[in-house]
Protein backbone atom coordinates (compact mmCIF):
# COMPACT_ATOMS: atom_id res chain seq x y z
CA UNK A 1 0.00 0.00 0.00
CA UNK A 2 1.51 3.37 -0.97
CA UNK A 3 2.43 5.76 1.78
CA UNK A 4 1.14 9.31 1.91
CA UNK A 5 3.65 11.80 0.56
CA UNK A 6 5.76 13.90 2.87
CA UNK A 7 4.67 17.48 3.45
CA UNK A 8 6.72 20.55 4.21
CA UNK A 9 6.09 21.78 7.75
CA UNK A 10 6.37 25.40 8.86
CA UNK A 11 9.75 24.61 10.46
CA UNK A 12 11.14 23.40 7.13
CA UNK A 13 11.05 19.65 7.87
CA UNK A 14 9.63 17.17 5.35
CA UNK A 15 7.45 14.67 7.21
CA UNK A 16 4.66 12.18 6.63
CA UNK A 17 1.35 12.66 8.44
CA UNK A 18 1.70 11.70 12.10
CA UNK A 19 5.49 12.12 12.16
CA UNK A 20 7.20 14.67 14.42
CA UNK A 21 10.35 16.69 13.80
CA UNK A 22 13.38 15.66 15.87
CA UNK A 23 13.82 19.21 17.17
CA UNK A 24 10.16 19.27 18.30
CA UNK A 25 10.63 15.91 20.08
CA UNK A 26 13.76 17.24 21.82
CA UNK A 27 11.98 20.43 22.93
CA UNK A 28 9.06 18.40 24.35
CA UNK A 29 11.45 16.08 26.20
CA UNK A 30 13.28 19.08 27.69
CA UNK A 31 9.99 20.68 28.76
CA UNK A 32 8.77 17.42 30.33
CA UNK A 33 12.04 16.98 32.22
CA UNK A 34 11.77 20.48 33.71
CA UNK A 35 8.08 20.10 34.61
CA UNK A 36 7.11 19.36 38.20
CA UNK A 37 5.28 16.13 38.90
CA UNK A 38 1.52 16.14 39.54
CA UNK A 39 1.85 16.20 43.33
CA UNK A 40 4.28 19.14 43.19
CA UNK A 41 1.78 21.00 41.01
CA UNK A 42 -0.94 20.56 43.67
CA UNK A 43 -2.74 17.45 42.43
CA UNK A 44 -2.60 15.59 45.76
CA UNK A 45 -5.09 13.53 47.81
CA UNK A 46 -7.04 16.66 48.72
CA UNK A 47 -7.41 17.48 45.02
CA UNK A 48 -8.46 13.90 44.22
CA UNK A 49 -11.29 14.14 46.80
CA UNK A 50 -12.44 17.54 45.47
CA UNK A 51 -12.23 16.24 41.89
CA UNK A 52 -14.32 13.17 42.73
CA UNK A 53 -17.03 15.33 44.37
CA UNK A 54 -17.07 17.82 41.49
CA UNK A 55 -17.46 15.05 38.90
CA UNK A 56 -20.30 13.55 40.94
CA UNK A 57 -22.07 16.93 40.78
CA UNK A 58 -21.15 17.56 37.12
CA UNK A 59 -21.09 14.14 35.42
CA UNK A 60 -21.22 15.36 31.79
CA UNK A 61 -18.62 17.08 29.64
CA UNK A 62 -19.55 20.75 29.16
CA UNK A 63 -18.44 20.60 25.51
CA UNK A 64 -19.89 17.38 24.13
CA UNK A 65 -22.15 15.89 26.82
CA UNK A 66 -20.22 12.61 27.13
CA UNK A 67 -19.34 11.33 30.62
CA UNK A 68 -16.79 13.67 32.22
CA UNK A 69 -13.54 12.30 33.64
CA UNK A 70 -11.41 15.46 33.97
CA UNK A 71 -11.86 18.54 36.14
CA UNK A 72 -10.28 21.29 34.09
CA UNK A 73 -9.27 24.75 35.23
CA UNK A 74 -10.99 27.18 32.85
CA UNK A 75 -8.29 29.79 33.40
CA UNK A 76 -4.93 28.02 33.86
CA UNK A 77 -3.82 28.49 37.47
CA UNK A 78 -0.06 28.47 36.70
CA UNK A 79 0.71 27.66 40.36
CA UNK A 80 -1.71 30.23 41.82
CA UNK A 81 -3.22 28.23 44.73
CA UNK A 82 -6.21 30.56 45.09
CA UNK A 83 -7.13 30.14 41.43
CA UNK A 84 -6.39 26.40 41.67
CA UNK A 85 -9.08 25.92 44.36
CA UNK A 86 -11.65 28.38 42.97
CA UNK A 87 -14.55 26.07 42.05
CA UNK A 88 -16.06 28.63 39.67
CA UNK A 89 -12.86 28.16 37.64
CA UNK A 90 -13.50 24.42 37.23
CA UNK A 91 -15.29 22.67 34.39
CA UNK A 92 -16.03 19.02 33.75
CA UNK A 93 -14.59 17.64 30.50
CA UNK A 94 -14.31 14.21 28.94
CA UNK A 95 -10.78 13.02 28.27
CA UNK A 96 -11.15 13.50 24.51
CA UNK A 97 -12.21 17.16 24.79
CA UNK A 98 -9.54 17.88 27.39
CA UNK A 99 -6.72 16.27 25.43
CA UNK A 100 -7.68 17.74 22.07
CA UNK A 101 -9.51 21.05 22.30
CA UNK A 102 -8.33 22.33 25.70
CA UNK A 103 -4.69 21.31 25.38
CA UNK A 104 -4.31 22.81 21.90
CA UNK A 105 -6.04 25.98 23.15
CA UNK A 106 -3.57 26.30 26.05
CA UNK A 107 -0.54 25.67 23.81
CA UNK A 108 -1.55 28.65 21.66
CA UNK A 109 -1.45 31.01 24.65
The range of the structural domain enclosing residue 65 comes to 45-108
Distance CA 71, CA 38 (A): 14
Q: Render pLDDT for 13-60 as a digit per residue (tens, 0 to 9).
A: 888 888 888 887 877 777 767 766 666 666 789 999 999 999 999 999
40 within some domain: no
34 within some domain: no
3-class SS of residue 43? coil
Whether 90 shows a pLDDT value over 90: the answer reads yes
3-class SS of residue 11? coil
Local confidence band at 11 (pLDDT 50, 70, 90 cut-offs): confident
Q: Are 63 and 97 in contact (CB under 8 A)?
A: yes
Domain tally, the chain: 1
Look at residue 17 in the predicted model and tell me its pLDDT. 84
19 within some domain: no
Look at residue 67 in the predicted model and tell me its pLDDT. 98
The whole-model pTM stands at 0.64
Q: Are 98 and 104 in contact (CB under 8 A)?
A: no
Q: Are 38 and 70 in contact (CB under 8 A)?
A: no
Amino acid sequence: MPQKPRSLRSCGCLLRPGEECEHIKAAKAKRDKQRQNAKERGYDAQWQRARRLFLAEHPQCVRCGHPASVVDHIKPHRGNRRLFWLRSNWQALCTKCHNSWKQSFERKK
